[in-house]
Chains A and B, each alone.
Chain A
Amino acid sequence: MILDAHGHIGSWPDFLIPDPSAEGLIATMDSTGIAATGISHLLGLGPDAVEGNRRALAVAAAHPGRFGVWQVYNPHHRTPPTDGPGVWGVKLHPDVHLCRLDDPLYEPVWKLGLPVLAHGQTDSPWSSPEQFAVVAARHPQVPLLMGHTGLWPYGFRRAAEAVAEHPSVLLEVCGSKMTGRWIARLAALAGPERVVFGSDACFLDQRIGFGRVALAPLAEPDRALIQGGNLARVLGPRLARNPGGTPL
């Protein structure tokens, strides 16, 4: 089962996204064989997490089994986090919300205990990989996906090393600077069981993100783990709790 851990729907102010729709994403998923994508609505990452989360859940309900929702938690608005059918976990974006990943304002998220997907950016004051190690040490029971594995190529190795001793942290590999070669390197550095495919669609083109993993110089069992096996292990019964989701 191929699962895309990191997706979005909706538009974003910085640049033109030609196809920000859920329907477009499903067409791409059908052509590439991706069973389901975890999404947050870009409105939710921006100024209105409550409305963005509502829209993301509505999309998941309208397309049974194809989307899981990463509910955006805005630490300033104290977005009420919830659990239920269609929810994969919580999305944090410290660089957009200008709130460090290790800030106490995120405590309600860690207490909830759901899987967390957080933007991770090397040398960012808000989301450096070293902060993932800090929160993983505080909350080792919370599965934590480091979105982009640090984002910048010069930091990919640092990111893997920063969380090497924290098995609850997985390296999610979307981003315009990621390469197939680096995905294979990360699998060798951290172990293939710690690397997770994500595309950042519709922000980025899902085909390109998936192609990086599909054509990376990986052994097939490792590729299968990265393409979906690892995320399925993290989500466990949550996959089956999607509206219309298929039990593993």
Chain B
Amino acid sequence: MPKYKPSRIADAHRLVGPVPFDDFPEDPRAELDRLGVERAYVTHTLSLYADPQAGNEALLKLGDPRLVPVPVVVPGVPGACAPASPDEVRDWGVRLVRLCPERHRWELTGPVSLRWLAVLGLPVAIDFEETSPGGLLTLARSLPDLRILLLNPGYRRLRAIAELMTEIPGLWLEIGTVNTQGGVEWLAERFGASRLVFGTGAPLVDDCGPRYLLDHLSLGQDEVDLIAAGSLEGLL
């Protein structure tokens, strides 16, 4: 099968800012240029490794349309949440928010979380390591209109991922870590390329390999374009 180059590429999962355990470049734009990535959906590392609200403030100041902000939301009772209310999230005008229930120690399917997410009405990005298949199923059954982008699904739980993709129509999958042989094509054949999203998790996770894979998928041009950018637009 001939290999098709994607028409344009968006990285749905990228970080900006410093991390405590490495000296990665804090600004991803040079790497995006080098790899031919048009835009990236970014979360600030301060939101993950320091204070969610401080990270969101830094993120929303970036002011570059090429770096699309994905702020972190911490649902909770007053005094335990970030930001102060769902209304404040809506005022940001973002199209996707990130949830880190494990990192920030709150219950993804608890009553407060479900009320916040119902009010927000925004798609959410969740790292698979921050939740569980059971948690995702409960979340989706509680909020059937919720659109979920599952980040960092990895390659070792393809059977569980396939069950989730079957049971949750509103689930999209980031493919950067789906790196067992032929894994992306296997998922595309069963669930459609329109539910697969190019993303990397760089710089913590590799961007070179997944970027190369985009140019070498055994899929048609339309499917490659969906994975490279179109599916994310459909999700948002």
Chain A residues with a Cβ under 8 A of chain B: 14-20, 24-25, 27-28, 31-32, 153-154, 176-181, 201-217
| A-B residue pairs, 3 tightest by C-beta | A211-B212, A180-B208, A208-B209
Q: Which residues of A contact B186 (CB under 8 A)?
A: 18-19
Q: How far is the CA of A154 from the CA of B213 in the complex (A)?
A: 25
Interface centre among A18, A27, A31, A177 (most CB of B within 10 A): A18
A19:B208 contact, CB within 8 angstroms: no
Instruction: Check A15/B210 contact, CB under 8 A, given A31-B3, A31-B216, A204-B180.
Output: no
Count the B residues whose beta carbon is within 8 Å of the partner chain — how many?
A: 34
Choose one: A15, A25, A180; the contact of B155 (CB below 8 Å).
A15
- What are 26 A-B residue pairs whose CB atoms fall within 8 Å in the complex? A14-B156, A15-B180, A16-B159, A16-B180, A17-B181, A18-B158, A18-B186, A19-B182, A25-B181, A31-B3, A176-B177, A176-B179, A179-B207, A203-B181, A205-B179, A205-B181, A206-B181, A208-B179, A208-B209, A210-B209, A211-B209, A211-B212, A212-B206, A212-B208, A212-B212, A217-B34
B158:A211 contact, CB within 8 angstroms: no
Q: Which residues of A contact B210 (CB under 8 A)?
A: 208, 211
Q: How far is the CA of A207 from the CA of B212 in the complex (A)?
A: 7
B207:A201 contact, CB within 8 angstroms: no
Q: Which residue of A lies closest to B162 (CB)?
A: A16
Q: How far is the CA of A65 from the CA of B158 in the complex (A)?
A: 33
Instruction: Check A24/B216 contact, CB under 8 A, given A179-B205, A209-B209, A216-B208.
Output: no
Interface centre among A176, A179, A205 (most CB of B within 10 A): A205
Q: How far is the CA of A26 from the CA of B179 in the complex (A)?
A: 17
> In the assembled complex, how far is the CB of residue B24 from the closest CB belonging to chain A, in whole angstroms?
8
CB-CB contacts below 8 Å: B204-234 with A: 205-213, 216, 218
Q: How far is the CA of A25 from the CA of B211 in the complex (A)?
A: 19
A-B contact count (CB 8 A): 105
Q: How far is the CA of A27 from the CA of B180 in the complex (A)?
A: 15
Instruction: Check A205/B208 contact, CB under 8 A, given A15-B158, A18-B185, A176-B155.
Output: no
Chief secondary structure at chain B's binding surface = loop
B181:A28 contact, CB within 8 angstroms: yes
Q: Which residue of B lies closest to A215 (CB)?
A: B208
> In the assembled complex, how far is the CB of residue A80 from the closest CB belonging to chain B, in whole angstroms?
30
Q: Which residue of B lies closest to A180 (CB)?
A: B208
Q: How far is the CA of A24 from the CA of B156 in the complex (A)?
A: 19
Interface centre among A154, A181, A201 (most CB of B within 10 A): A181
> In the assembled complex, how far is the CB of residue B183 from the closest CB belonging to chain A, in whole angstroms?
6
Choose one: B21, B179, B203, B218; the contact of A181 (CB below 8 Å).
B203
Interface centre among A19, A27, A178, A203 (most CB of B within 10 A): A19
> In the assembled complex, how far is the CB of residue A41 from the closest CB belonging to chain B, in whole angstroms?
14
B156:A201 contact, CB within 8 angstroms: no
Q: Which residues of B contact A180 (CB under 8 A)?
A: 206-209
Q: Which residues of A contact B61 (CB under 8 A)?
A: none
Q: How far is the CA of A177 from the CA of B204 in the complex (A)?
A: 9
Q: Which residues of B contact A209 (CB under 8 A)?
A: 209
Q: Which residues of B contact A25 (CB under 8 A)?
A: 181
B21:A205 contact, CB within 8 angstroms: no
Whether, in the assembled complex, B154 has its beta carbon less than 8 Å from a beta carbon of chain A, the answer is yes
Q: How far is the CA of A210 from the CA of B206 in the complex (A)?
A: 12
B216:A32 contact, CB within 8 angstroms: yes
Q: How far is the CA of A32 from the CA of B183 in the complex (A)?
A: 17
B34:A205 contact, CB within 8 angstroms: no
B216:A207 contact, CB within 8 angstroms: yes
> In the assembled complex, how far is the CB of residue B5 from the closest CB belonging to chain A, in whole angstroms?
13
> In the assembled complex, how far is the CB of residue B136 from the closest CB belonging to chain A, in whole angstroms?
19
Q: Which residues of B contact A18 (CB under 8 A)?
A: 158, 180-183, 185-186
> In the assembled complex, how far is the CB of residue B155 from the closest CB belonging to chain A, in whole angstroms?
7
Q: Which residues of A contact B183 (CB under 8 A)?
A: 18, 205
Instruction: Check A207/B159 contact, CB under 8 A, given A24-B181, A176-B179, A212-B208.
Output: no
Choose one: B155, B158, B206; the contact of A178 (CB below 8 Å).
B206
Q: Which residues of B contact A216 (CB under 8 A)?
A: 208
A154:B180 contact, CB within 8 angstroms: no
CB-CB contacts below 8 Å: B152-202 with A: 154-159, 177, 179-186, 202
Whether, in the assembled complex, B35 has its beta carbon less than 8 Å from a beta carbon of chain A, the answer is yes
Quick one: CB contact mask for B32-62 with A, threshold 8 Å, 1 for yes? 0011000000000000000000000000000
